[in-house]
Amino acid sequence: MDLASHSKMSSEGAEGRPAPPNSLPLQGTPGGPSQRKKLSAPRISLSLDQSEEDALETPDDLDINVDDLDTPDDTDYLDYTDTELDWEEPPTANRNASKEPCEPIPTFSAAEERQDAKLWRAVIIGEQEHRINMKIIEPYQRVVSHGGYYGNGVNAIIVFAACFLPDSDSEDYHEVMENLFLYVISTLELMVAEDYMIVYLNGATPHRRMPGMGWLKKCYQMIDRSTKFSNKIKYVNSLAELQELIPMEYVHIPECIIR
C-alpha cells in the first residue's frame, strides 16, 4: 500500500466517514468560501416539573427553580393609596380652611367722622404738628383754666390746679400726662397775649397726683423759651396772700382747696 492510499484511508476513517480537517479556512482566504459560524443559545427550561431529561439537556447554572424564589409578603408592597401626590389639588374643604376670612374695613358715617374729629385735636407746638387724644384727657381738662387779667388788662392769669391731675398709679398715667402736657401748652398759647402769670394751686392735692416742678418748668419753657423759670416763682401760703398779688374775681378755686 502506497502513501496515497494510506492517506485516503485515514481521511475516510474506520467507518467510511471523512476525518475532520486539521484547519479551518479563514475569511478572505483565496479559494475558500466566506462563512460565519452560527452559535445556538442553550434552551432554558421554565417547567415546574423537572425531569431527568431536562436536567441533562439544560446546564445546571441555567435552571431556574421557582420553588427557591423568595415570595414577597404584604410588608414588601408599597401602599400608594394613602400618599398624596404633589400635583394633586387638595380637597375643597382644605382649600376653604386655608383661606382666612377677610374682615371688611369699617366705614364711618358723617356723624361718626365728626365725632372722631372731636376726639383728636391737631396743634402746632414749636413748628411741629402734634395730635392730642381729647377723649383720654377729658376727665382732666379742668387742670388748666383762664383766670382773667391783671395789670393794665392785657396780662393773662393762667390757673393750674394739680388736684385735677390723674393718679400716678393708674395704668395709662404716662399716656394721659403726655396728652395733657400738649393740651396745656396749646391752651396757654391761645390764652397768652403779652405777659402772663401762672397760678399753680397744689393745696388739698394728694401726693400721688403731684406732677412735680420739672413738669411745670417744661410747660413754662415751651411757651416763652425762658430759662429763668425759678427766678419768677413766688410762693404763697393762703388765698389771702394770693389775692394781694392778683385780682381773684375770675380765678376759679376748686372746692377742695376752699374747704
Show the domains of the chain with their CATH numbers: 140-258 (3.40.525.10)
Gap between the Cα atoms of 133 and 176, Å rounded: 9
Q: Which of the pair, 128 or 164, is modelled with greater confidence?
A: 164
With a cut of 70, say whether residue 61 has pLDDT above it: no
Of 108, 104, 113, 164, nearest to 139 by C-alpha is: 164
Q: What is the pTM of this model?
A: 0.51
Task: Give, for 94, the enclosing helix (H) or strand (E).
Answer: helix 92-98
The pLDDT value given to residue 6? 47
Residue type, 81: T
Q: Which of the pair, 214 or 236, is modelled with greater confidence?
A: 236
Ramachandran class of 184: left when φ > 0, alpha when ψ lies in -120 to 50, beta otherwise: alpha
For residue 129, the SS3 value is strand
Phi, psi of 125 (to 5 degrees): -130, 120
Averaged pLDDT for residues 216-245: 76
The pLDDT value given to residue 185? 85
Task: Choose the weakest-confidence range: 91-95, 123-127, 200-204, 214-218.
Answer: 91-95
Share of the chain above pLDDT 70, in %: 49
With a cut of 70, say whether residue 242 has pLDDT above it: yes
Averaged pLDDT for residues 27-31: 50
Gap between the Cα atoms of 210 and 147, Å rounded: 21
With a cut of 90, say whether residue 137 has pLDDT above it: yes
Averaged pLDDT for residues 151-157: 81
Averaged pLDDT for residues 173-186: 89
With a cut of 70, say whether residue 73 has pLDDT above it: no
Residue type, 31: G
With a cut of 50, say whether residue 4 has pLDDT above it: no
With a cut of 80, say whether residue 140 has pLDDT above it: yes
With a cut of 90, say whether residue 72 has pLDDT above it: no
Q: Which of the pair, 246 or 224, is modelled with greater confidence?
A: 246
Q: What is the pLDDT of residues 75-91, one digit of tens each?
A: 555 554 554 545 555 56
Cβ proximity of 126 and 166 under 8 Å:
no
Torsion of CA 146, 151, 154, 157, to 10 degrees: -20
With a cut of 70, say whether residue 16 has pLDDT above it: no
Confidence of residue 136 (pLDDT cuts 50, 70, 90): very high
